[in-house]
Amino acid sequence: FWDFLILFFCLPVVIFNEITKKRLLGDMSCRIVPFMEVSSLGVTTFSLCALGIDRFHAATSPQASTRPIEQCQSIIAKLAVIWVGSMTLSVPEILLWQLAQDTSPVSGGVTEFCTMKPSSNLPESIYSLVLTYQNARMWWYFGCYFCLPILFTVSCQLVTRRIRGTEKKSECRGTKHGQCESHLNCTIIALTIIYGLCTTPENVCNIVVAYMSPDMSKQTLDLLNLINQFFLFFKCSVTPVLLLCLCRPLGQAFMDCCCCCCEGCGSDTTSSEGSADSKLKTEMSSSIFFDKPRETPPPLLALGTPC
């Protein structure tokens, strides 16, 4: 959902600014767009950490195959902590950016751009905190939003593999539960790889700009910032597709919803039986990131439409 917000709100603002050299929504967009982009990094970072902890608990649980499915209230509470924490850590971005204007040397027209400069109207204590955040922003970005999720995921995967290799190797090999656990681990690793590849250019650019910005022109800095933003948009576009492709229960549910939108989805009995079989397989598999494989349900009758 947060990836959708980034693509729905931030992408049009950035494209409009590049085409017209005018900032859509003015000073508000200069503050909201960085806030949402950094919050997106925080949501992804803490979600990967939470999923790594979940995989570790699945590996160390004494009765992994009978571990109960997590309640919806618990999941919502964890999501609330992730979202509120990410947005709280991104609040300094709202106070750090502001709208500025400049005269283009090529066209002679007035262009608008966002600059990283705290407003002098802020209270002195808040102003000093924002300046401290600006000075430490590069390393905070690199440590929290790049190193933390990657190191956390790698550590959890290594510990999980070692525990499963020593204690539960004979139990999980060839079983439905073991295959599902392996598939979920691969999904988390794929999400981490995509996140790492898409955030590496921005962190490299931040380090280069921090030490070489006096020698770089404004046009070069703007181009680097634009490239970093589109890598973020690429991550937000690829992550949902990757989840649908790698997580078979989620992908099957998505395809069933798409089938319901088709007028002829219930035209023949064969498609109805195929949908019933797919639903049976989905019920027998475990949920996306939780561990109890569902007990075998009673056979589903091929009645009505597959929707």
Domain ranges for the chain: 1-61+70-167+180-249
Instruction: Name 159's bridge partners.
Output: none
d(CA 61, CA 128) in angstroms, rounded, equals 47
pLDDT at 294 over 90: no
Residue 248's pLDDT is 74
And the tokens for 85?
């924490």
**Contact in structure between 229 and 18 (CB atoms under 8 Å):** no
Give per-residue burial for 101-138: e unless 16+ CB within 10 Å, then b. eeeeeeeeeebbbbeeebeeeeeeeeeeebeebeeebb
The residue among 86, 88, 99, 91 whose CA lies nearest residue 130 is 91
pLDDT of residue 105: 65
d(CA 280, CA 294) in angstroms, rounded, equals 11
pLDDT digits (tens, 9 = 90+) for 183-237: 777 888 888 899 999 888 888 888 887 777 666 777 777 788 888 888 989 998 8
φ and ψ of 113, to 5 deg: -150, 165
The pLDDT, as a whole number, for residue 63 is: 60
**Does residue 39 contact residue 87 with C-beta atoms inside 8 Å?**
yes
Span 76-125, pLDDT tens digits: 998 999 999 999 999 998 988 888 877 766 666 777 778 888 888 888 88
Model pTM score: 0.74
**Which long-range contacts link 135-144 to residues 24+ away (Cβ below 8 Å)?**
137/96, 138/206, 138/207, 138/210, 141/202, 141/203, 141/206, 142/203, 142/206, 142/207, 144/42, 144/45, 144/89
Q: Assess if CATH 1.20.1070.10 describes domain 1-61+70-167+180-249.
A: yes
Kindly state the percentage of the chain with pLDDT values over 70: 74
pLDDT band at 44 (very low <50, low <70, confident <90, very high): very high
Looking at per-residue confidence, does 43 or 209 come out higher?
43
Mean pLDDT of 29-39: 90
